[in-house]
Amino acid sequence: MARQVYLDYAATTFTDPRVVEAMNPYFTRSFGNPSSIYSFSEENRRAIAEARKQVASVLGSAPEEIYFTGSGTEADNWALQGIASKNRSKGNHIITTKIEHHAILHTGQFLQKNGYDVTFLDVDAEGRVSLETLKKAVTDKTILVSVMFANNEIGTIEPIAEIGAFCRERGIYFHTDAVQATAHVPIDVKAMNIDLLSLSAHKFYGPKGVGALYIKKGVKIDNFMHGGAQERGRRASTENVAGIVGLGAAIELASSRMASASERISRLRDMLIDGVMKAVPHAKLNGAPSGERLPNNANFSFIGIEGETLLLDLDRAGIYGSTGSACSSGSLDPSHVLMAIGLSHELAHGSLRLTLGEETTEEDIQYVLSVLPGIVKERREMSPLWEDYLKSFDKGR
């Protein structure tokens, strides 16, 4: 079989075989409903308690502050909608950013339709929210600020501790979507004054379909999933025991190796970035410099070619990446993140995200570097945009 290089770890990771092994007993052997009082479910109750501890210890919270959900998206929906409705009497203003994941963005738009006033903050050219911009947006009706920990497209890490300190001082709840950051970069909800935090297992070698919301003790929030009294009455649905156990095992594994993995992966990532910037003329790196972005994220724009084209050409070479181009998502507009950092439509449509992970090797990177420049060159040659760009570029000199 031809070489396969998976570089879409930010979309989803494989589930670590050790995690699968940890999950396995909970399908066929210890399958009891954890909310039942009989001894048969004791092992399940204990396993869930253990997973809660594992998550808490990575975030620096108390175990009782962790609530398991069915996805990162659900955690985001819950945080925004639950805070909004519960604190409606205090105000109807919510602040978030223009570069959030759709789980926040679309929930924010949904709240707008339901009588809330939602501000989407601008970011700078590297995708960073500034505290100054935030301060200006705050009103005495502001009940919640939600800023993602690190961006899923361009990897930029936001000034979470600063924002947290400010919100705490002003008595405004602070939520962060840490789906991309959890177990990849250090997080401390206490030190960073975070009130709510979303995470999702399949971004750190856990299973898909399970996430968690950290809710600081005392935070006033309504339920999102109505029904039974699971998760201490706060999140209904029969507990996904195997999934929760998998999330716990995965977060523990991933954070125990975080420092070394981050070093190894960011070195490979820098090798990739350097190689691409050298080998592809007029390539652009999107996002912040190495130290201020997720260790595994590289995001480029290649003027003159469209992202889907690039993905399919790379796919033929066995390389799997992602793009902010509209075409791959079924909508007509390119990535809102790339537009928010000021890219032209052309550049936004011509973006390529490559995200590295546990199985990425130096050979993989070298292989990408041996293939990508040729593809870009060939597709540019059939592009009217590239032609125009070169002309205007030459004129510009």
Partner 1 sequence: MYSEKVLDHFQNPRNVGEIENPDGVGQAGNPKCGDIMKIYLRVEDDVIRDIKFKTFGCASAIASSSMATELVKGKTVEEAWNLTNRAVAEALDGLPPVKMHCSVLAEEAIHAAINDYRRKKGLPVEKEESHDELVEHHLHGDEEEK
Ligand X SMILES: Cc1ncc(COP(=O)(O)O)c(C=O)c1O
Q: Which of 66, 129, 157, 241 binds a second copy (CB under 8 A)?
A: 241
Which does residue 345 bind out of a second copy, partner 1, ligand X, none, counting CB within 5 to 8 angstroms by kind? Answer: partner 1
For 33, residues 6+ apart whose C-beta sits below 8 A from its C-beta are 41, 44, 238, 239
Active site residue 167: no
Interface map 346-385 toward partner 1 (x if CB under 8 A): x--x-------------------------------xxxxx
- Residue 83's alpha-carbon distances to 135, 139, 144, 192, in angstroms, are 20, 17, 7, 19
Q: What residues have CB less than 8 Å from 377, skipping those under 6 apart?
A: none
> Which 308-337 positions form the footprint of a second copy (CB under 8 A)?
308, 311-312, 314-315, 320-322, 328-331
Instruction: Provide, rounded to whole angstroms, the least separation between the CB of residue 64 and ligand X.
Output: 22
The span from the CA of 180 to the CA of 204, in Å, is: 9
Residues 6 or more apart in contact with residue 339 via CB below 8 angstroms: 333, 345, 348
What is the nearest approach in angstroms of partner 1 to the Cβ of residue 341?
Answer: 17
- The option from ligand X, a second copy, partner 1, none interacting with 25 (CB < 5 to 8 A, set by class) reads none
CB 320 within 8 A of CB 6: yes
Q: Report the partner that residue 28 touches, choosing among ligand X, partner 1, a second copy, none (CB closer than 5 to 8 A by kind).
A: a second copy
Tell me if 323 sits within 8 A of 8, measured CB to CB: no
- The number of beta carbons lying within 10 Å of the beta carbon of residue 38 is 8
Rank residues 45 and 267 by Cβ distance to partner 1 and give the closer one: 45
What values do phi and psi take at 370, rounded to 5?
-80, -20
Between 192 and 376, CB nearer to a second copy: 376
Residue ranges binding ligand X (CB under 6 A): 71-73, 76, 101, 103, 148, 152, 177, 179-180, 200, 211, 237-238
Q: Does residue 242 bind a second copy (CB under 8 A)?
A: yes
255 makes contact, choosing from ligand X, a second copy, partner 1, none, with CB < 5 to 8 Å by partner type, with: none
Binding residues for a second copy, total number by CB under 8 A:
72
Rg of the chain on CA atoms, in Å: 22
**Cα–Cα distance measured from residue 60 to residue 86, given in angstroms and rounded to the nearest whole number:** 25
Q: Of 99-107, 129-137, 276-284, 344-352, which segment contacts partner 1 by CB under 8 A?
A: 344-352
Residues in CB range of 299: below 8 A, 6 or more apart: 153, 154, 155, 285, 286, 287, 324, 351, 352, 353, 354
Q: Which of 15, 146, 286, 325 binds partner 1 (CB under 8 A)?
A: 325
Residue 38 corresponds to which tokens in the numbers above? 């009989």
Q: Which residues are catalytic?
A: 327
Residues that bind partner 1 (CB under 8 A): 37, 217-218, 233, 304-309, 312, 316, 325-328, 330, 332-334, 344-346, 349, 381-387
